[in-house]
Amino acid sequence: MATPDLDDPTTDGTSRLGRAVVGVVVGIAIFAFVGVVGYFLFVSYAMQQWADSYDSPQPQVTATAEDTTAVGTETGLDASNEAYRQRAGTPESDAEAALSVPAVQAALDPVADGTAVDGDEVWDALVAAGFEHVQTSDRTASGEVSPVVGVGVSVPGGCVYGAVAPDAVTLDAGGPIADGGCLEMPSH
């Protein structure tokens, strides 16, 4: 019996070159299919992870007395947008700052006499009491004059901050906000 000649296309109807080309094409097609399926699985997984992180609850952002535009509970990326409002401090430094609350309160009580309050009046009262680093805000985020003046005073250990209304003074103590001051900017 004679051995078939593999280079002879008449033996099984294909040549070695033809079989090699078909093998390469099939290999590329399988590689492309696996790559496309893998890409879509990766992208769908990554998108789900992103969506889950966006929807996950973040620390609650609450309004303080100095906020003239109160912000409710924010989640996801909205909460990170409010990070500048977060106060930095330690229990020890906050306690040290709290020791200055009575002095700031005493300087501001005469201003809250039932009449309209403005930022200059609050500023003058605090500077007259010996405080050097004072911030006031008597405007809302839209630029309108607010009947309540936000106040921030740099003291040892952090800040005394709050609000002066025509008939009341509300103060708290803590660290400075992430922007570096004691009171957020009026445009925020």
Quick one: pLDDT at residue 66? 43
Provide the pLDDT for residue 4.
56
pTM for the whole thing? 0.55
Domain boundaries, the chain: 16-56, 76-174
Q: What is the per-residue pLDDT for 101? A: 94
Burial 103-142 (b: 16+ CB within 10 A, else e): bbeebbeebbeeeebbbebbbebbeeeebeebbbbbbeee
pLDDT score for 143: 77
Kindly list the averaged pLDDT for each block of 10 residues, start to end, along the chain of length 188. 55 76 91 87 76 52 41 56 71 88 95 91 94 88 84 92 93 86 69
